[in-house]
Amino acid sequence: MGSHKTVVFCFFSWITAFLFALTCFGCRLSVSFTGGSVNPNAKTVYVATFPNNASLVNSSLSQEFTVGLKDRIQNQTPLTIVNTKNADYVFDGAIVNYTITPIALQGNDIAAMNRLTISVRVTFKNRFEENLDFEQTFSRYSDYLSTLNFTSLEPGLIQEIVSYLTEDIFNKAFVNW
């Protein structure tokens, strides 16, 4: 019976310590999702349409990237997406690079693999903590066998790269890495 009282005492000690810490640090508490933090006063985010300014243009990339970034923010924060730059957080920018380059050359100067690279220039504004504002270019790539039909692979490659890019941008804005 004595060990039961010890367990109950330890449980209440942890609860008390947690509530004390919450009370002491409550003013600086921020909402955390997947390791990121959002200012507790922030309610809104604006994500501009990212135009495709690359020299090689994929007609659906602009929309796919913009929707991908909005979806990541909606799924991982409590923020509401709005259509005004007066939001608490603002993402703006452009797709600046979309290239296919040969890699892994074989002996006969024919590439065994190709690489699709997408780069996005992002400007991020944080209304509450301006020191966290940034302007940065993010790049990601995916490799594929050169013997495969790029046209049939392209949608999947883009989806993969957009997923990594939006994760990198989200982490920079909300995880501050």
pLDDT band at 177 (very low <50, low <70, confident <90, very high): low
Q: For the chain, how many residues are written? A: 177
Mean pLDDT taken over the chain: 83
Q: What is the CA radius of gyration of the chain?
A: 23
pLDDT over 70, % of the chain = 76
Q: Tens digit of pLDDT for each residue in 80-125?
A: 999 999 999 999 999 999 999 998 776 666 778 999 999 999 999 9
Q: Tens digit of pLDDT for each residue in 54-86?
A: 999 899 999 999 999 999 999 999 999 999 999
What domains can be seen in the chain, in order of their start residue? Answer: 38-175 (3.30.160.150)
With b meaning 16 or more CB within 10 Å and e meaning fewer, what string describes 145-172? ebeeeeeeebeebbeebbeebbbbbbeb
pLDDT at 104 (0 to 100): 75
pLDDT band at 1 (very low <50, low <70, confident <90, very high): low
